[in-house]
Amino acid sequence: MSSADHLAAPSGAAFTELPPDSTRRNLLIASCAAGGVAGIAAITPLVGSFEPSEKAKAAGAPVTADISGMAVGELRTFEWRGKPVWVVRRSKEMVDELKKNDAGLADPESKRNPSEFTPMPQTRNEYRSLKPEYFVAVGVCTHLGCSPSTRFTPGPQASLPDDWPGGFLCPCHGSTFDLAGRVFKNKPAPDNLPIPPYTFVSDTKIIIGEETKA
Ligand code: FES
């Protein structure tokens, strides 16, 4: 049934004949005055019902990630807005090797749709992070949403090229990403892994979901 159907007179029923104009105007003023309070009362619960619940607010709230004691090459996963967010501790060698991947990447400088995939300007750099040592990304493949697995060890191995530099492999359709979450060319995934807003509050704590102020 369309919304217009709700407004139509029921089949076979006639609309009530309206009183003359002056009477209609008086009736309208009277009903507005009487209806004012009731109208507010009727509207208030509606407005209330559009406010997010405490649970919904909590689901979208920033989360604190404890990265104390992380070993080089370790990945920790934190849940933010129902998504897995990775923190990877990279070695200096891992970071230094990133530049060599550029020619084989679909979007090496993260220029595509930065508001969605690299929202913080401070992470639009060659290592896609606030601190080169820590890579923070949403661990969801930009093809169809599988979670890529870690393939940090460089070199030949199953399902990867012989010159594999280390990074992530999506098990669903074979998209590959380097250690800055940048997707390699000619893969099903169209974009780099998203970088969430985050900020360091200390050397061992990150708040995911809160932008670093410029
Ligand atoms: S979901 Fe990752 S390659 Fe298809």
CA of 175 to the centre of ligand 1 (A): 6
Residue 36 and residue 65 share a domain? no
Backbone dihedral region for residue 113 (phi beyond 0: left; psi -120 to 50: alpha; all else: beta): left
Residues in the chain with pLDDT < 70? 1-52, 56-58, 214
Give residue 166's identity as a one-letter amino acid code: G
Amino acid at residue number 138: V
pTM above 0.85?
A: no
34: containing domain: 17-51
HSE toward the beta carbon, residue 137, CA cutoff 13 A: 31
Number of domains in the chain: 2
Q: Is-contact 206 128, C-beta < 8 A?
A: no
The finding on whether 172 has its CB within 6 A of some atom of ligand 1 is yes
pLDDT score at 56 = 66
167 shares its domain with 115: yes
Is residue 72 located within the same domain as residue 38? no
pLDDT tens figures, 170-198 = 999 999 999 999 999 999 999 999 999 99
Q: What's the pLDDT score for residue 60?
A: 82
Per-residue pLDDT, 51: 65
Residue 147 near ligand 1, beta carbon < 6 Å: no
Ligand 1 centroid vs 173 CA: distance in angstroms? 5
pLDDT score, position 54: 73
- Is residue 142 located within the same domain as residue 41? no
Question: What backbone phi and psi angles, to 5 degrees, belong to 125?
Answer: -130, 180
State the DSSP string of 100-125: GGGGGBSSTT--SSHHHH--SGGG-S
Count of beta carbons in the 10 Å neighbourhood of residue 1: 6
User: Are both 126 and 185 inside the same structural domain?
Assistant: yes
Look at residues 29, 51, 73 and tell me which one is the last residue of a structural domain. Answer: 51
| Whole-number pLDDT of residue 47 | 45
Residue 121: predicted pLDDT:
94
